[in-house]
Chains A and B, each alone.
Chain A
Amino acid sequence: MLKYNYFPGCTLKTTGTQLEETSIKVLQQLGVELVELPRWHCCGTVVSLSSDSKIHSAGAIRTLIRAQETGDNKLVTICSVCYNTLKRVNERFNTDEDFRETLIKFMDDEEPYEGKIIVLHLVDIIRKIGLDNIKDAVINPLKGLKVACYYGCLLLRPEEFSIDPSSESPRILEDIIASVGGEPIEFPQKIECCGSFETVHNPTQIAAMGYRIIESARKNGAEVLTTMCPLCYFNLDRTQKIIKKTNPSFLPLPLFYHTELMAMAILPEEISLKENVELNSTVLERIYS
């Protein structure tokens, strides 16, 4: 079995456990094992955008050192924030000499990082497995379920770190959904931000942004919405709960991680729902019937 070093990050162990569990199981079914890094810690979350700030990248570099210690040069992430941060800090380490030297000096308790780790996203592994092979592994197709594929920001922007060759009009998630028997639908808000970390202190802003995304998906015919990011999932879910409270006639749209949809299609056992059980179970019944 093909093995990759894997960095979960904090959110996949707290609010995003369903994303982690289904990702690991789906890859296992497809012949890839994710091996969790020993002694990992926070990557620092959002990448520091200040040119004079170096300390905020220490968490990411230490994570890359943990990966380096394993002797393998690849590191897989699932969380979009971890992916963006590790990838950008890695790039800065390799191109900014002052940044590199300061961080190596600052972390003199560690073996110096050599800058050779290649940061990958789960999608890169799926692409490597091949969509045709995924299609062959399907035992329970999604039966034409109309899926709105929502990307958010950090997997696509800045362009040079995008998981898809086209950061303005990505296709990879649609292709994945189609390979497991779903019918991806296009909607204009698929690359728009969900509100990100503003969720902590500005729920009104999150609800306004989420509502635009959900209604745009629905208007274009979506039966369910899928996302790859644990923060987008949380925000879109929270949006629906906030709106439902103020407007009881609002119909929430079932929300799934892409790996949950893949798991329904290719795992021999049925997946169990942890979130939105009441709403999402109708989709499960339809797929498993």
Chain B
Amino acid sequence: MEITLKKTDITLRDKILKISGEDFNKCYQCGMCTSGCPVADEMDIMPNQVNMMLMLGQFEELLNSQTIWICVACFECGARCPHNIDLAKINEALREIKIRENIDLFNIWETASTGEFPTIALVASFRKFTS
């Protein structure tokens, strides 16, 4: 199957490859990442599908998915991947692309006031979900 990417898509693809430092093209869809993921049942796009969609050039769908925000970076997918693809880095790259457009997932000040959270959870949320 031949897929032709638009110029804007190529820029986006290269950006994801650069920020993550991971080559999603190595994925052969064995599904080990998804079977190990503790949050897969909360996701709208499964971890292995993230790689497939990246190969197919469906970047906008991924950037607008819930999956990239649900990943907790527990590194189980990377530990199981036979190609050592660190999917947590790919999800981080997709999140970073949104965050660098000054997009926050939620109002952290409001949410943080709902309880007394460990400092690591608060600082990590600032880092992962806000610009």
Query: A residues near B, CB below 8 A?
Result: 9-11, 14-16, 42, 44-46, 48-53, 56, 79, 81, 153-154, 157-159, 167-168, 191-193, 195-202, 205, 208-209, 212, 230-231, 234
Q: How far is the CB of B28 from chain A (nearest CB, A)?
A: 21
Residues of B within 8 A of A10 (CB): 119-120, 123
Task: Scan B37-50; emit 1 where CB is below 8 A from any A CB, else 0.
Answer: 01100100000000
Residues of B within 8 A of A192 (CB): 38, 74, 76
Task: Scan B20-31; emit 1 where CB is below 8 A from any A CB, else 0.
Answer: 110000000000
Closest to B80 in A: A168
The 9 closest A-B CB pairs, nearest first, are: A193-B74, A197-B124, A157-B75, A51-B21, A49-B92, A10-B119, A153-B74, A45-B123, A15-B118
Q: How far is the CB of A193 from chain B (nearest CB, A)?
A: 4
B70 and A198 within 8 A (CB): yes
B120 and A52 within 8 A (CB): no
Q: Is the interface of A mostly helix, strand, loop or mixed?
A: loop
Q: How far is the CB of B64 from chain A (nearest CB, A)?
A: 18
Contacts A45-B127, A158-B75 given: A81-B120 contact, CB under 8 Å? yes
Could you tell me the distance between the alpha carbons of A196 and B129 in the complex, rounded to whole angstroms?
Answer: 13
For A200, give its contact among B42, B78, B89, B122 (CB under 8 Å): B122
For B76, give its contact among A52, A157, A209 (CB under 8 Å): A157
Could you tell me the distance between the alpha carbons of A50 and B86 in the complex, rounded to whole angstroms?
Answer: 11
| B56 at the binding interface (Cβ < 8 Å) | no
Closest to A16 in B: B118
Closest to B93 in A: A50
| B102 at the binding interface (Cβ < 8 Å) | no
Can you sample 21 A-B contacts with CB below 8 Å? A9-B120, A10-B120, A11-B120, A15-B118, A15-B119, A42-B119, A45-B123, A45-B124, A46-B127, A48-B127, A49-B20, A49-B92, A51-B18, A52-B19, A153-B76, A192-B74, A193-B72, A193-B74, A196-B74, A200-B112, A205-B70
A200 and B19 within 8 A (CB): no
For B73, give its contact among A42, A196, A202, A231 (CB under 8 Å): A196
Residues of A within 8 A of B1 (CB): none
B20 and A201 within 8 A (CB): no
Residues of B within 8 A of A53 (CB): 96
Q: How far is the CB of B68 from chain A (nearest CB, A)?
A: 12
Closest to A197 in B: B124
B120 and A230 within 8 A (CB): yes
Closest to A152 in B: B74
A15 and B75 within 8 A (CB): no
Task: Scan B87-102; emit 1 where CB is below 8 A from any A CB, else 0.
Answer: 0110011001000000
Closest to B112 in A: A200
Q: How far is the CB of B74 from chain A (nearest CB, A)?
A: 4
Residues of A within 8 A of B111 (CB): 200-201
Given contacts A51-B21, A157-B79, 4 further A-B contacts (CB under 8 A): A49-B89, A157-B75, A198-B70, A231-B118
Contacts A56-B127, A153-B74, A197-B124 given: A14-B20 contact, CB under 8 Å? no
| B14 at the binding interface (Cβ < 8 Å) | no
B118 and A14 within 8 A (CB): yes
For A11, give its contact among B18, B119, B128 (CB under 8 Å): B119
B92 and A196 within 8 A (CB): no
Could you tell me the distance between the alpha carbons of A16 and B118 in the complex, rounded to whole angstroms?
Answer: 8
